[in-house]
Structure 1
Amino acid sequence: MQRAQSILIEFFGQALAPTMGNACIRIFRRSIPEGVTVRPLPEKALSIVRDQVMRGGYCFCVGRYEGPIWKYDINQAYAAAMRDARLPQGDCYHRLGDLHRYAKVYIARVTGTHPNNRVPFYCKSEIGGRSRAVFVIDRIPETWLTSIEIDQLRREGWKLTVSESYFWDDAFSMVDFVTRLERLRTTCEGGPSGAIGTMAKAVGNHAYGKTVEVVDPKEIVFSPECPVGFMPYTAPGEADRLGVLEHIWWRVGDIVTRDYHQPQLGAFITAHVRMVLRRAMLIDPEAWLYADTDCVAFNRDVTRVMDIDPSRYGAWKVEESGTPYRIIAKKVYASLDGAKRSAKGMNVKQLTTEDFQRWLNGTAPIQNQTQRQNFLRVMAGSEMYLERTRRGTAIG
């Protein structure tokens, strides 16, 4: 911990904080280029960005597969995106109808079609009154996308119709900041995996995360006396057979906003990574097997057409070259020698090679797991640890 503290102070002028996110957002803010002004979004635009534009990493399994794979990872994908993407800054303007002719950095409400598309596109759409993530092939339902996504989809041949947009009058990129991280990590004492290199990697990974943070206004306090403005956690007449909840108090405060809560930045950064991943999948859709956040796998060698450089941020590095794998479902795969395994929701250490073989054939494993309960449930009398039976992802 002391070594991490000294590295952050020496190279970034920042002490450790309760989390890396707390420390890194301060580094990020100080590293925004001079003259850049990132303003809070109008309320409606803020809601749109959080509910539809902002999405997580792309994850898709084409189907079950057993055989050799060639797997590639983007080197420091999200740090690279801060440098390579055009991020919105300045004033934000609303427009109904088609795009303003000078709009270059924007979010837009669109629909679209591409009858020959072969790689599923990930977006959000309102289904049953709720915004839900969907993967679409030849038709994009009404949704909100960034200009990064729209520009690429149009280059692919999608026919998109814009009906509403918010656009900014300027853009910026974190070129100097990310280039400095890249140079530090590749030239520092101990190399990329040493102490300094590891901290440089952590700063790049965590720098933008707090821009999309939403703070829960509900506060819970454990105290012998009720603090001013709080209420008992138990409702009047509610049973508290152990009497422990009488020291727990709660309140709903004001929605907490910080000046760094700028989700449009996170939305554009994550969109950039998804589009880099998508361009890789489109190299050979027939050979494409799997993609997850910053990695893509094929059933043949496509190295010669990839931008390979294991040290440059944003380039690709080869992770597997012809290694036999079983790919079963999203987040469920294993090399045949058992050296690398993933099984979402399961204790992967307890799974054998035979378990993965049976899973590939359609029989998901079942495990008895010990799960720890949250604090309030334990205080209310629940056991701290409960036995649960979990079944692996079902294969249709």
Structure 2
Amino acid sequence: MRTRIMFVITGLNLGGAESQLLLLVRALQRLGWEVAVVSMIEPKYFVQDFAEMGVEVITLKMLPGKSDPRALWRFAKLVRSWRPDIVHSHMVHANIFVRVARLFFPTIPIVSTAHSINELEGSYARLLAYRLTRHLSHYTSSVSASSYQHYVSLRMISPRKGGFVPNGVDLERFDCDADARAALRVALGIEDQFVWLAVGRLVPAKDFSNLIKAVALLRDQGLSRMRVLLAGDGPEKADLLKQCEQAGLGPIIQFLGPRHDIPDLMNAADAVVLSSAWEGMPMVILEAMAARRTVVATHVGGVGELFPADDVDKLARPKDPVALAERMAYTMRLSAEEHEQAGQRGRAFVERSFDIRKVARDWDALYHRLANSASTREAAVQAGLHTGSEEARD
């Protein structure tokens, strides 16, 4: 009989948590897991990707920012019907939701994963709810060591029942192809410019305003033989377009909208830039390293964990376009050999620690341990016994 896991996520947008879930589902299927995916709000992306893997995305049809007690009952019925061995939630709203819903299915182990160090910022009520419900998770994780320590300091994660499990990358998707690179650059109208790629939702966390200001500084310094490809969509799009127009950067910054060909875009680019104000463990940096691309980034969240100690000081301060422009200018002046060496180091680093197959095996081991512990607890309860452990009392 196959083991079953039900993933629950706040929503399916074009973000790092969502793309990570897609990769994890695919890898776990290869390990023999049967998977269900539940989106609290109506999904916008990835539904077809999951369907191609034989996974239906079930939506609870909740409205963003609106509580709906009826959704708890609908979800509980779904869990009882599908009977997963593990329920694993992703993102803070889903984590709180599943923890409360666990009251309806107390014998099924649940895992909670937060993806950003700032997911709880700005709302004391949400932070309090996360803290008060943490004991309802059998395991609570974050995607970087720094965010894990942050959550521990806020008493959001108990070290006895949590840890950090990093994001993973599908390395096969990011192999370089010289012919494909040349063809896409022609299609994008790129000549001999230095091409930067920036990827992410157009939201405050990614701080693309910081990038626009840095590019304007580079232009003013005479480094105008460049193109910036910005792949993504979001609520700040109109404002960012206006900023580009006012700065006269229309010929340099190209808004590509939502894209599903990020590996191809990285293949076509010369370097990748991340201008974020806050992060967890940014997938775009791991993907850029897998694609052997030089990376410039702000020093936020778990970013520093992805670079050698000697290079961490070279990361740009967040919300500092002057610092970001300096790092971009330095990178643009590197020789082809230096870019190649940096790319090879990044690829080797990702292969060692962030291969999605390894990450999935780590989750697989944890899931089985939790499921086996749950079976032991249930048998003990039926026999009128108890284990006395904190996990058993939860």
- TM-score of the aligned structures, taking structure 1 as reference length: 0.24
Structure label with greater radius of gyration? 1
Higher relative contact order (CA 8 A, sep 6+): 1
- Determine which structure has the larger helix proportion and give its number: 2
